[in-house]
Structure 1
Amino acid sequence: MSSSTASPSRLRLLIGEFIRFGLVGGLGFIVDVGVFNLLRTTVMDPAHMHEGPVIAKLISTALAILVNWLGNRYWTFKDRRRTDMFRESVEFFAVSIAGMGIGLACLWVSHYVLHYTSLLADNISGNVIGLILGAVFRFVLYRVWVFGEHRLRVPAPNVEAAGKTTLLP
């Protein structure tokens, strides 16, 4: 097998991470869409607040980012999480905010430029097109940058040493 060809175990790892990423993202999607629609149809209805759809999307996406960070850190990329949790979280949120920008841009163009202002149009532009484009962007950057193999990782617990205390010099 050439060095440019992925080994079956690396391919299985990639597929497993992608599936877990999708499941975590699915939970984030439920949070995002649920909060967005709750806000969009109540206190941030565009009939009462001109910027309502965009502000609702900012809030719903911020909550979804938090859910996604926890899920990706402790499940999707659990073997890649880093010892420097603060830096990891800053990088994760930076990538997520850039991904959120993709979704917001789709919603903004649809709602304010193309004047598709119905609830369905806002959901299609922000919660379908924007989330799909943003998810691809985020998966790639989470995998290669935030949780990249070159990063320091939290040491895996050693079952044999679980009962022993090791003093570090």
Structure 2
Amino acid sequence: MSFSAWLSTHYEERGLVKWLAFFLEVVAALTLLLLMLLTCTDVLGRYLFDNSLDAASELTEICIAILVFAEMPIITWRGGHVVVDILDRFIGKKVIKVLGLLSIFVMSSSLYYVAHRIFFIGARSIRRGEESEYLAIPMGHVVQYIAIMSWVTAGAVITYGIYILLFPHTPEQQSTHPLSSSQEAK
């Protein structure tokens, strides 16, 4: 099986979104592998040689930030967040759609504002020359990565919401998503 066929089989997204999702998942997978190797090395060093890695905690923190914020846009685009639909059977389809649109607006604008503030804090950190304790990694770059991925996630919230509203897929997806218009009152 060719790489292109494998990618098309495992990623239902199209065009640039498919390649962005693949790239971000590769980043997350490599980060997870690094985190696993780092943890194993730290534990083995601690128990076998009585000497742990000095920078293990700061590398773990950085790796977790990279991992979480690489996956946020993908999970958002695929609609993988938890949706609580307790009141859906008591309110109408149009109200559900309006509430879904309102939630998209609130989530995307909140992510945008938070990312703006985080990016400012990262720039300030770079100007001040703040570095990690053991490896002297400029922390402002990690903070700005978090801001950029939050902006990408805000864009994913908006595009996913529009995508679900304009291009509903299968009946199963339509009936489980809060923005779909084919929900039936039970």
TM over 0.5: no
TM-score by length of 2: 0.28
Greater C-alpha Rg: 2
TM-score by length of 1: 0.30
